[in-house]
Amino acid sequence: MLDYKEILVKKYVLHMSGREIAETLGCSKSGVNDFLTEFNRCSQLSYPLPDGITNYGIYQRVYGKTPGIGERNTSYELPDFVAINHQMQTRHNMTLIYQWNRYMMQCTASELKYYSYRQFCSRYTEWCKDNMTDAHFNAVIGQNMEVDFAGKTFVMVSPLTGEVIPIVVFVAILPYSQYIYAEGMVSTKEPQWIQANNNAVSYFEGIPPIVICDNCKQAVMTNADWIAPELNKDYAEWAEHNGTVILPAKVRKPKYKSSVENAVGILEKGFFHVLEERPYFSLHDFNTDLWEELGKLNHAPFKKKEHNRAYYWEEEKLELLPLPATHYEYMERREATVAGDCHVRFDNAYYSVDQAFKHKKVSLKATTDTVKIYSKNGDLICEHPRALHKGEWVTDASHLPKSYNNYSDWSAEYFIRKAMTIGPHTVSVIRAILASRKYEVQTYRCCLGVIQFVKKYSKPIVELACQQALEQHHVTYTHLKTMIPCIAEKWETPAMKSQMNEERNKGGFIMEASSMDVGNLLSKSQQLATLGKKVRNK
């Protein structure tokens, strides 16, 4: 019960607001304000209070009932909570505010007193506690592991491109010991999801018989009735490899994975605030800090029971299934053609291949850590560590030719000669791009992109764009691609467009417009058919 006498003293003597009184007494602002409202309406009581009156006496006069007896004011119409609960359970997107509005309109039409929305919700909650039975899951030692993604995300800045990349945090927990594992991920695709689960069971030093997961697409395809969910094929194979069973939680029912939901809350309200204040330029640095803070949390003593998470985990890990000899590896498979720069593109990154396979088709098999490249006959050509950043080039210098003497291939000389046909500023841009990377061949695609601007824009416009890029000291293909449409719109004249079209159409065969007339085409078709019959008859 609130200290009503103290509330009235602070209100009428110290002239404090409801918020200030609530902060001073450590109670809710709405409770204080509701009491003051009812006190002002009360005709039996006013300030200053009568001598000897108690808090119970104040409550009885203000609210018209004795506290603790549980009687309600019968002048208010009681909502039909059975019908309301049925609709809340069976109708999609049903809300209590909608139900209260309906209850209010019904009472108004019948001239009955109705509860406020806050009292309506409070009494509905009490009704649910008395009439609804919630499922309760007791944590059994070594029985299951719960996994999910945290709602809080972080960012890191790529040191190569300056791109801001989001980091998503994967969280796993053993409910019995409450031992937590977490890991930052820049991609949440199936390969990274499988790898995170592998890392979790390695951290726990054992496999639980059951894995309870959220209904994310990396784990579950469909889960309409919870009885027979359709699992992601790769995640199901991961479970089979480890001798465990995947049990997805019910859709939009967080209590079915309450331990991991609680773990996410502990992380987000705890050291996540420390991590978000630090700048990160690599995923490795983020995970290093994350695991350091996580180790402190797992060894910190519980507040409401003895010992800590690590203490109970030492007991629980003895009940887990043993880890398999090798982890399950998700394998991505693709086919690609080796370009003139001796690289293939895979997952927005570039990997070098021996020059002997230039312009030939190869197959790629990739895990989260490595990319292997095979010939069409199935022979392994090379193996690279998987790129960590979008647009990254992974190059083995031994794969590249010593020199490019064949001008039918891409080379520095080839692109410079092409640029000379456009103008001196274009030549300077090509030279700058060629010198921008460790290996020259890594720039050939950008050089080709600059040269091919003349297919869409006139040579003077391309030359002007290159001149401005040089003046701005921002010589990149991406910058030119963004800038050149604006320059063309401002400076390109109809005469320049006409000249460009004439050069583009040189040597072309110009057909009369009448040659594409439907009637003429049908007539020619009939003539050819008649001629064909005559030839066959002969």
Q: For residue range 393-447, what is the model confidence (pLDDT) as tens digits?
A: 888 888 877 654 443 467 788 899 999 999 999 999 999 999 888 777 788 888 9
pLDDT band at 69 (very low <50, low <70, confident <90, very high): very low
Residue 105 has pLDDT above 80, yes or no: yes
10 Å CB burial of residue 468 (0-12, 13-18, 19+) is middle
Residue 170 has pLDDT above 70, yes or no: yes
Residue spans of alpha helices (H) in 253-362: 258-269, 272-275, 283-298, 309-316
Output the pLDDT for position 511. Answer: 60
Q: What is the identity of the amino acid at 411?
A: S
- What's the mean pLDDT in 189-211? 93
Q: Which residues on neighbouring strands pair with residue 344, listed in sequence order? A: 351
What beta strand segments (E) does 302-439 contain? Answer: 332-337, 343-346, 349-352, 361-366, 370-374, 380-385, 393-394
10 Å CB burial of residue 76 (0-12, 13-18, 19+) is middle
Output the pLDDT for position 297. Answer: 95
Place of tokens 């919630």: 134
Residue 241 has pLDDT above 50, yes or no: yes
Place of tokens 């320049």: 496
Q: What is the pLDDT of residues 466-497, one digit of tens each?
A: 999 999 988 999 899 988 988 888 887 776 66
Q: How far apart are CA 457 and CA 463, in angstroms?
A: 10
Residue 509 has pLDDT above 60, yes or no: no
pLDDT band at 12 (very low <50, low <70, confident <90, very high): confident
Q: At 94, is the secondary structure helix, strand, or coil?
A: coil
Non-local CB neighbours of 261 within 8 Å, separated by 6+ positions: 148, 254
* Relative orientation angle of helices 477-491 and 444-451, to the nearest 10 degrees: 10
Q: Which residues on neighbouring strands pair with residue 173, listed in sequence order? A: 146, 180
pLDDT band at 227 (very low <50, low <70, confident <90, very high): low
- What's the mean pLDDT in 203-223? 88
Q: How far apart are CA 434 and CA 417, in angstroms?
A: 13
Residue 218 has pLDDT above 50, yes or no: yes
Any idea which of 12-21, 63-72, 248-257, 284-293 has the lowest mean pLDDT? 63-72
Most confident range (mean pLDDT) of 36-45, 55-64, 117-126, 371-380 is 371-380
- What's the mean pLDDT in 108-113? 90
Output the pLDDT for position 43. Answer: 79
Report DSSP state, residue 317: G
Q: How many CA atoms lie within 13 A of 466 on its CB side?
A: 27
Output the pLDDT for position 68. Answer: 47
Q: How far apart are CA 164 and CA 176, in angstroms?
A: 38
Q: Higher confidence at residue 69 or residue 462?
A: 462
Is the distance from CB of 352 to CB of 362 less than 8 angstroms? no
Non-local CB neighbours of 200 within 8 Å, separated by 6+ positions: 145, 147, 170, 172, 181, 183
Average pLDDT, the chain: 84
